[in-house]
A and B are shown apart, each in its own frame.
Chain A
Amino acid sequence: EAGVAQSPRYKIIEKRQSVAFWCNPISGHATLYWYQQILGQGPKLLIQFQNNGVVDDSQLPKDRFSAERLKGVDSTLKIQPAKLEDSAVYLCASSLVDLYEQYFGPGTRLTVT
């Protein structure tokens, strides 16, 4: 069974530029999560989708971050414009259903200079 796929693995941008990350969850997993992990901290949930609907985006900085999951399969997370404090690893995870074991992708390491 293929795992959660993410791309790119690494990205370096300058502040005020925009960036997008892509995630393809495990086939059949209805729930998809985006996490932000700042160095030295645990992952923090940014947004959770159930199929193509948003379940929780309370911690998503909506003035600059946006995410979509069209067709209820893969998802993109965008940052526009990026700030220095957005430097982090962005992790995508999926689970069969909500409140169940989550499987994580390898993450995208973003550096904002």
Chain B
Amino acid sequence: SQELEQSPQSLIVQEGKNLTINCTSSKTLYGLYWYKQKYGEGLIFLMMLQKGGEEKSHEKITAKLDEKKQQSSLHITASQPSHAGIYLCGLYYGNKLVFGAGTILRVKS
């Protein structure tokens, strides 16, 4: 969507390496969602960040919300093949959940 821009569009990392995905909003960030999608499957909820400075972790995945920059970052530590997929950020805008285009992550073993 135009409201959310994700970078990079795609990423290939060697297994064991760390990586960061960014999601930048053109609107005030409130209630930023991160989802993961495997090819041909639905979206799996990872976490939701509600306020500036908030940081949450799910296994080896950590997400932070920077309200001033209107940005959220998703960091994966020691990537594994199971982390491969499409990572999508979503934001409620006008009572509608809008998504970024996604970041495709491939992990080489």
Contacts and interface: CB of A to CB of B under 8 A. Distances in A.
Interface of A: 4, 6, 33, 40-45, 48, 55-56, 91, 93, 98-99, 101-107, 109
Given A33-B97, A43-B43, A91-B42, 5 more contacts: A42-B1, A55-B95, A93-B42, A99-B95, A104-B43
B14 to A, nearest CB: 25
B99 A43 contact: yes
Contacts of B95: 55-56, 98-99
B96 A45 contact: yes
A42 B99 contact: yes
Nearest to B43: A104
Give the contact-size bracket for chain B: 20 to 34
Contacts, number: 55
B50 to A, nearest CB: 12
A41 B48 CA distance: 21
Nearest to A45: B96
A55 B94 CA distance: 12
B45 A103 contact: yes
A102 B95 CA distance: 13
Given A41-B101, A45-B97, A99 B92 contact: yes
Main secondary structure on B side of the interface with A? strand
Given A42-B1, A42-B88, A101-B48, A107 B41 contact: yes
5 contacts: A42-B1, A42-B98, A43-B43, A43-B88, A106-B42
Contacts of A107: 40-42
B42 A104 contact: yes
Interface in B80-109: 88, 90, 92, 95-102
A56 B98 CA distance: 13
Contacts of A91: 42-43
Nearest to B42: A104
Contacts of A55: 95
Closest 4 CB pairs of A and B: A42-B99, A104-B42, A104-B43, A106-B42
Nearest to A109: B40
